[in-house]
């Protein structure tokens, strides 16, 4: 079958898969941001217990494989009484896994905000929550964006693993097409190109643009 015909025949399935992948990606990013922010802040808390809880989360997810976590969330967690739908288990696990990597970025970025900023906020009689929200986090955001861009690409790549718990994402559809047609080069090659286009020509430019906007907003150009 010529490649053109192949594309025409299977474009619907590639598109369906891509949409699911994008959904998984978007939701996983939200989970990751949330988890990274919370655990990154917890890691800097005064209370030893809070710090320990964050460390356990981070080391647990960074010390094991995403695939192991995915199977565990999907097959073992129901035994504890939490049954997750496969779609939910997918983005939740991917998000939690990369959130653990993001936590270190959050902590590093917050600590890189100069001492004087903390002191000035204190001198202005801001409460700790105000100081964090209005002074520290906006400046930390500028520092964190470049490495966070790399993490976003890792998250996109990580979502391919949800196909192994049968979420019908791009990877899953591609395998199905391959199983039906044995046209491996065409099937896997097309999927590689789709992932590449998303990472290189959409995600990366958006992150660059965000970096520029944030730097301008904070008066650093």
Partner 1 sequence: MLDWKLDFTWEILPRLIAAAGNTMLAAGGGYVVAVILGLVFALAQRTPSRTLTFVVRELVEFVRSTPLLLQIFFIYYVGPQFGLRLSPWTAGLIAIGLHYAAYLSEVYRGGIENVPKGQWEAARAINLSTSQTYRRIIIPQALPPALAGMGNYLVGILKDTPMLSVIGVAELMHTANSIGADNFRYLEPYTLVGLIFLAISLPTAWFIRRFDKALRRKMGLTR
Q: Contact positions toward partner 1, by CB under 8 A? A: 59-60, 62-69, 71-72, 75-76, 79-81, 153, 156-161, 163-164, 171, 174-175, 178, 182-185, 188-189, 191-192, 195-196, 199-200
CB of 123 to partner 1, least distance (A): 30
Nearer residue to partner 1 within complex by CB, 60 or 124: 60
Nearer residue to partner 1 within complex by CB, 26 or 128: 26
Collapsing DSSP to helix, strand or coil, 112 comes out as coil
Nearer residue to partner 1 within complex by CB, 86 or 157: 157
- CA-to-CA distance for 75 and 35, rounded, in angstroms? 22
CB of 203 to partner 1, least distance (A): 8
Collapsing DSSP to helix, strand or coil, 190 comes out as helix
**Which is it for the CA torsion 96, 102, 104, 109, positive or negative?**
negative
Q: Which element (helix H / strand E) includes 133? A: none
CB of 71 to partner 1, least distance (A): 5
Nearer residue to partner 1 within complex by CB, 61 or 87: 61
CB of 47 to partner 1, least distance (A): 24
Closest among 67, 76, 87, 77 to 166, alpha carbons compared: 87
Q: What tokens were used for 11?
A: 């474009």
């Amino acid at each position: 079958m010529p490649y053109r015909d192949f594309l025409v025949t299977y474009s619907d399935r590639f598109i369906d898969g891509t949409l699911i992948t994008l959904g998984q990606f978007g939701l996983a990013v939200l989970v990751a941001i949330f988890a990274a922010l919370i655990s990154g802040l917890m890691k800097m808390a005064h209370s030893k217990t809070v710090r320990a809880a964050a460390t356990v989360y981070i080391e647990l997810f960074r010390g094991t494989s995403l695939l192991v976590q995915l199977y565990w969330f999907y097959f073992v967690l129901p035994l504890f009484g939490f049954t997750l739908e496969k779609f939910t288990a997918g983005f939740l696990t991917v998000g939690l896994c990369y959130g653990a990597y993001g936590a270190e970025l959050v902590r590093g970025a917050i600590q890189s905000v100069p001492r004087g900023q903390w002191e000035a906020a204190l001198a202005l009689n801001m409460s700790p929550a105000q100081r964090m929200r209005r002074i520290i986090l906006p400046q930390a955001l500028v520092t964190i964006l470049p490495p966070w861009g790399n993490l976003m690409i890792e998250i996109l790549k990580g979502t391919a693993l949800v196909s192994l718990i049968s979420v019908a994402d791009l990877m899953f559809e591609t395998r199905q097409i391959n199983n039906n047609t044995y046209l491996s080069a065409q099937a896997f090659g097309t999927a590689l190109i789709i992932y590449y286009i998303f990472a290189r020509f959409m995600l990366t430019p958006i992150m660059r643009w965000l970096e520029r906007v944030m730097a301008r907003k904070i008066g650093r150009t």
